Chain A
Amino acid sequence: MDYQVLIFLLTIVSVVLVAVGSTTYRKLKALNHKHHIFRYEDDGVCCVDGDEIDDE
């Protein structure tokens, strides 16, 4: 196979691999993080995921 064709194909394959790998890694990392919802009620009490906590 011509070297130029080889370089061309290697470039495309490597970029696709980097893009897919990076996107998959970020999605997996996001899945492993549970998202907590912090909220301050009107009376100043801090709640995490709906449960009251002492924010001191």
Chain B
Amino acid sequence: MAGVDNAERAGRFLALYSSGLLSSGATTLRTERNMLRMADSFGIDVQLTILPMHCEVSVRKDKGNGRLLFSEQYSRGINFNAITAMSRMSWKVADGRLTVEQAERLLSFVKAQSRYPDWIVAFAAGVANASFCRLFCGDLWAMAFVFLCTVMGFWLKRCLIHRSVDVRIAVILAGMVSAITASGCYIFSLGATPDVAVAASVLYLVPGIPFINAFSNFMHGHYVCAAAIFMHAIETTACLGIGLFCGVMILNNL
């Protein structure tokens, strides 16, 4: 490997890369592997410390003085497109097809890429949740109400988060709205499985990826990150439970 002349610049790129990858929802294992792959190509020694809110990258070249670089993780939600693009980039760097400068430009480009439009995500989440309802033996009426409640709850959550409302409050309100809307099967006596509709109405709020990442981090010895992500996932799950409870209580008490 030819390596790089400016180890600090390469280290700064790796710090930004690792925080970008983790912020997009990648596991610590993938982040470590990708980063070490690129560091090997750059010809630098790298030690990565991943913490819940930021990354520390220690860079050293040819047994010279080391530099410690920090990068903060930003919260932009899970983005699999960005994870795929950044992973491909790491292979290109490892193959020597990208220099540090080119990789920096590509990383900025990947980070600036917009996500899918909200209405497509809301529609897809609705279809996915209605399919869950069908898996739990819900009938067509239940599926229709689950689709409706998912789209409404998802859209409400997005609107509230865009208006800088606390995520936990947004999840509680979205869960409550979804539970009330899914209760339409009960209220209008439509279909034979209204209970399945109510049970499936808040499934789209379950933080599946944080739970999986927490388990993966735990299995690979990143206990601090695993505990932090697990607590965050538990918090979200508790909020959706509170929302579902409030929705059912409002309808039952009236």
Contact = CB atoms under 8 A, between A and B. Distances in A.
B187 A22 contact: no
Given A8-B183, A11-B180, A19 B159 contact: yes
A18 interface: yes
A15 B177 contact: yes
Main secondary structure of the interface of B (DSSP, over half): helix
Interface residues of A, number: 15
B163 A4 contact: no
Given A22-B163, A26-B162, A7 B156 contact: no
Interface in B218-254: 250-251, 254
Main secondary structure of the interface of A (DSSP, over half): helix
Contacts of A30: none
A7 B246 CA distance: 13
Q: How large is the interface on B (under 10, 10 to 19, 20 to 34, 35 or more residues)?
A: 10 to 19
Given A7-B251, A7-B254, A11-B177, A19 B184 contact: no
B139 to A, nearest CB: 19
B181 interface: yes
A40 interface: no
Q: Which has the most chain A C-beta neighbours within 10 Å: B160, B180, B186?
A: B180
B254 A15 contact: no
A8 B155 contact: no
B156 A19 contact: yes
A23 B117 CA distance: 13
Contact of A4 (B155, B159, B187): B187
B181 A12 contact: yes
Interface in B136-187: 152, 155-156, 159-160, 162-163, 177, 180-181, 183-184, 186-187
Interface string B189-229: 00000000000000000000000000000000000000000
A4 B251 contact: yes
Contacts of A5: 187-188
Nearest to B250: A7
Interface of B: 152, 155-156, 159-160, 162-163, 177, 180-181, 183-184, 186-188, 250-251, 254
Given A4-B251, A19-B152, 4 more contacts: A7-B251, A8-B184, A8-B187, A15-B177
